Amino acid sequence: MNLLHLLPLLLLQAADPPRTVNDGVLGTTEEFATKGPARVCVGNTMVEVLPGETAYLDYLGIHWGAVRIVGPHGKFVVKEGDSWAPLKRPDLFQDESGRTFARTRRDGEPAYLLFAATEFSDGEEVPRVWISGEALKKGRASSILERVRTRQKEATGCDRAFNYGWDMLFGEESIEK
């Protein structure tokens, strides 16, 4: 039997446990996994997880939180945060719904930074959501970007929702909403 045929299955199942500040582990991978179809939210950002995909909580910290989506076309990570460094020479564009993105590459893979207004930005669009990973290759980027939405206030209609920030770290808010 050729073990190379099993490699994609092993890669899809292998997911690191969710982490927090100072590389602390929040729990097991399975505890924080959500199979699609589902809507998974981190902060004010919603991600539609399709059938055949699984969303894994990736990280919850002071300034950002992330989920990793793994499916038949690879994986991508959605990170919502409030402290992104400016990109050098960003390739800005707007999608069909008028949302502004910066297109770039990180570690040889495509990456996108979604700009959105926040409750603290006085209506100005600021860098808000980082989306990256191999699943964005081969013409799949636009369909993935369409599945990521953000709001100025807390995301609603979530099958699973996660908090990040000081309140979560100090136990004043739970990890899950």
Residue 12 has pLDDT above 50, yes or no: no
Query: Domain for residue 176, yes or no?
Result: no
Of 41-55, 83-97, 156-170, give the lowest mean pLDDT range: 83-97
Contact 147, 136 (CB under 8 A): no
Highest mean pLDDT of the ranges 49-53, 80-84, 136-140? 49-53
Residue 155: give the domain boundaries: 3-169
H or E element in which residue 111 lies:
strand 109-117
Query: Between residues 11 and 50, which one has the greater pLDDT?
Result: 50
Both structure tokens of 149: 């939405």
pLDDT at 9 over 70: no
Look at residue 174 and tell me if it is in a domain: no
Q: Residues 99-156: pLDDT tens digits?
A: 999 999 888 889 999 999 887 888 888 899 999 999 999 889 999 999 999 987 777 8
Contact 99, 113 (CB under 8 A): no
Q: What is the pLDDT of residue 119?
A: 79
* 4, pLDDT greater than 60: no
Q: Longest Cα pair distance anywhere in the chain, in angstroms?
A: 60
**13 within a domain of the structure (yes/no):** yes
What are the structure tokens assigned to 106, written together?
């990180």
17 within some domain = yes
With cut-offs at 50, 70 and 90, classify the pLDDT of residue 61. very high
pLDDT tens-place string over residues 161-173? 999 999 888 888 8
Query: Residue 177: inside a domain, yes or no?
Result: no
Q: Is residue 175 part of a domain?
A: no
Whether 48 shows a pLDDT value over 70: the answer reads yes
Q: What is the count of structural domains for the chain?
A: 1
Q: Are 128 and 118 in contact (CB under 8 A)?
A: yes
Mean pLDDT of the chain: 88
| Rg of the chain taking only CA atoms, in angstroms | 16
Burial of 130 (0-12, 13-18, 19+ CB in 10 A): buried
Does residue 108 belong to any structural domain of this protein?
yes
**Looking at 8-17, 53-62, 128-137, which range is the least confident one?**
8-17
